[in-house]
Amino acid sequence: MKLLVILVIALAIIAIVQLSKVYEFTRALRKSKEEEISPADNKLQANLMLVWMFVFFIGTIWLYIRYGHYLPEPASEHGKDVDWLMSLNLWMITVMFFIMNSMLFIVSWKFYYRKDRKARFFAHDNRLEMIWTLIPGITMAFIIVFGLITWNKITGPASADAITVELYSKQFDWTARYPGDNGEFGASSYNLISSDNALGIITKDKIASKIEEIDAEIEKVKASLEENKKLATMPESYVETLQDKIYRLERHKQRILDLGESKLPSGKSNWETGGDDRIAKGEIHLPVGKEIEFIFRSQDVIHSAYMPHFRAQMNTVPGLPTRFKMTPTITTKEMREKLGDDEFNYVLLCNKICGAAHFNMQIDVVVESPEDYEAWLKKQKTFIAQETAPAASPATADTTATPAAGAPIAAATN
């Protein structure tokens, strides 16, 4: 099949070359010069310009109608502003598109070359310069000012009663964290990230076990140093390397100890409030009509949290928490009714190609009444419950209800 296509293309090229040779030959017979194009040819080209303009315009309008509405109505407060801005921009571009292209094609059609006509030439025109500087300038200023107003609505400080949700990205899934019953987020640090503490939440236990781990490592290096010192052939540089390693481990240990010492803005210790934070995976719930402040963190590479129906997107950057706020306005149930689709779900998906399983980095977002939301949140595992539960069946652990921190472990794993 491929060969056939190549053959057809090759034959077509040969045919065109042959045809142009025939054309040149007949021209030679007619004794006209090669660069001489007849007035009839010029007229034909001019008319074709006009025909092409209409084909081009009709095609563009068709694309607008066919692909112009790819998302349902915005389901967040600022979403309406984003859509308004988007439409404003699109309208400006569209109007400009038709004006510019009409000018290009109509001028080519109207002023095609005729022997008896001469073009007017001028090198400079202040009025024209003014027009094509001022109009784009004012338009750009308009777009930027309105864009900034909307941007500030999304990224400005959240109100005091806003619900904070942390979205944590790593290759290749999302973890959501909600403040626990004390209403306050526990602090976290990349220093404490481990297989059973993906979010690096600071608790006393986590600090202690990390210190233990580092101490053991220091002992190991010290022992190796002592042993090597006994050897006469030991190069000086190797001793230095080991000493440097010990120094680095001590420094790391101090950093972990500092984590336990520092305080949250509320005056509580760093490790005090994280234990009751609630962890949700596979799905997040949001209450309708309440302001939500999202905080994004990333463990490995840059991901991008994209919630198209809320017109919200933010990069998640390792080492640099990012944020935005939004207020959902339409519940999942209402949206399903609007769309006539019982299967519809809002989604949170990764919009940055972040690796092999990037396509799979998608979870559902459920918007519901504040009461339903509270009930759902109560069912989510607290960090403490999660860490004391055996890591046996993560699949069922995600959906089963668990009591608050401090409850018997058996109950937490049911």
Where on the chain is the footprint of Cu ion (CB under 5 A)?
A: 303, 350, 354, 361
303 vs 325, which CB is nearer to Cu ion?
303
Contact predicate 383/283, CB 8 Å: no
Least distance (Å) from Cu ion to the CB of residue 169? Answer: 6
Least distance (Å) from Cu ion to the CB of residue 296? Answer: 12
203 vs 304, which CB is nearer to Cu ion?
304
Least distance (Å) from Cu ion to the CB of residue 295? Answer: 17
Least distance (Å) from Cu ion to the CB of residue 304? Answer: 7
154 vs 354, which CB is nearer to Cu ion?
354
What are 163's two structure tokens?
A: 């619900």
281 vs 303, which CB is nearer to Cu ion?
303
Helices (H) and strands (E) in the chain, counts: 11, 11
Contact predicate 316/302, CB 8 Å: yes
Burial of 154 by CB count in 10 Å (0-12 exposed, 13-18 middle, 19+ buried)? buried
- Report the C-alpha gap between 272 and 226 in whole angstroms: 40
354 vs 365, which CB is nearer to Cu ion?
354
The CA–CA distances, whole Å, from 117 to 49, 112, 113, 146 equal 20, 10, 8, 48
- Amino acid 35 reads E
Among 377, 360, 382, 355, CA closest to 299: 355
- Amino acid 273 reads T
Least distance (Å) from Cu ion to the CB of residue 298? Answer: 8
Contact predicate 402/387, CB 8 Å: no
Least distance (Å) from Cu ion to the CB of residue 294? Answer: 16
What are 51's two structure tokens?
A: 């025909």
The phi, psi pair for 154, rounded to 5°, reads: -80, -35
Is the Cα torsion angle 46, 47, 52, 54 positive or negative in sign? positive
Least distance (Å) from Cu ion to the CB of residue 177? Answer: 18
Among 411, 406, 381, CA closest to 278: 381
278 vs 303, which CB is nearer to Cu ion?
303
Among 156, 189, 164, 163, CA closest to 262: 189
- Amino acid 303 reads H
Least distance (Å) from Cu ion to the CB of residue 315? Answer: 10
Least distance (Å) from Cu ion to the CB of residue 207? Answer: 30
- Report the C-alpha gap between 314 and 356 in whole angstroms: 21
Q: What is the DSSP letter of 328?
A: B
37 vs 320, which CB is nearer to Cu ion?
320
* Segment (H or E) for 99: helix 77-110
